[in-house]
Amino acid sequence: MRSAFRIIAYVICALIAVQAAAIAWMDSGLFIWVSEGGVLDKSVLESEAAPPFAEVTGMMIHGMNGMMVIPVLALVLLVVGLLTRTRRGIVLGATVLGLTVLQVALGMFGHGLSLAAMLHGLNALLLFAAALVAARSRLEAPVERTPEARVGARV
């Protein structure tokens, strides 16, 4: 279970890197499209026509990865952390899941509130750091207390 915990945490880190790359790719493509005369307005967003620039795929990757894949993996990380029966595994798994829930909420609110979008970017760094700490942590085996140790502890 400890190896699974570590692997899942590293995968979350890799997916957060994909998130940053995908949104930067989309933003770059949007900038190029606008600088070449493209206009982004409500009609473009509501259009069912083909996307106006190829890099819009980065936005789709960012959305699907951030709304589905990473949250599921964060939940799995917590479950695996619980199965390790170590306090550190549980705390780290819960931290990653909590930051992931916050990240999704900030991403959703960021479409209407620019401050939330800014916090979404900042929280991504915190989430990456938490997942990296989880991946690099040593989950010690739970200490089994013998009946003799329990009696000695009461004295």
Number of domains, the chain: 1
Of 16, 43, 18, the C-alpha closest to 103 is: 16
Backbone angles phi, psi at 23, to 5 degrees: -75, -30
Asked if the structure places residue 56 within a domain, the reply is yes
Does the pTM surpass 0.95? The reply is: no
Asked if the structure places residue 112 within a domain, the reply is yes
Percentage above 90 pLDDT, the chain: 74
Asked if the structure places residue 10 within a domain, the reply is yes
pLDDT-derived band at 15, boundaries 50, 70, 90: very high
Q: How confident is the model over 57-93, as pLDDT tens digits?
A: 999 999 999 999 999 999 999 999 999 988 999 999 9
Asked if the structure places residue 34 within a domain, the reply is yes
pLDDT-derived band at 52, boundaries 50, 70, 90: confident
The CA distances from residue 24 to 45, 84, 155, in Å, are 19, 37, 62
Structural domain that includes position 110: 2-136
As a whole number, mean pLDDT of residues 90-117 equals: 96
* DSSP letter string, the chain: -HHHHHHHHHHHHHHHHHHHHHHHHHHHHHHHHHHTT----HHHHH--S--SSGGGHHHHHHHHIIIIIHHHHHHHHHHHHHHTT-HHHHHHHHHHHHHHHHHHHHHHHTTT-HHHHHHHHHHHHHHHHHHHHHHH---PPPPPPPHHHHHHHH-
- pLDDT of the residue at 147: 65
pLDDT-derived band at 120, boundaries 50, 70, 90: very high
Average pLDDT along the chain: 91
Asked if the structure places residue 15 within a domain, the reply is yes
Asked if the structure places residue 16 within a domain, the reply is yes
Asked if the structure places residue 88 within a domain, the reply is yes
Is the pLDDT reported for residue 152 higher than 60? no
Q: Report d(CA 81, CA 103) in Å as an integer.
A: 20
Q: For 18-32, 37-51, 95-109, 121-135, which range has the lowest pLDDT when averaged over its residues?
A: 37-51
Asked if the structure places residue 141 within a domain, the reply is no
Q: Report d(CA 65, CA 74) in Å as an integer.
A: 12
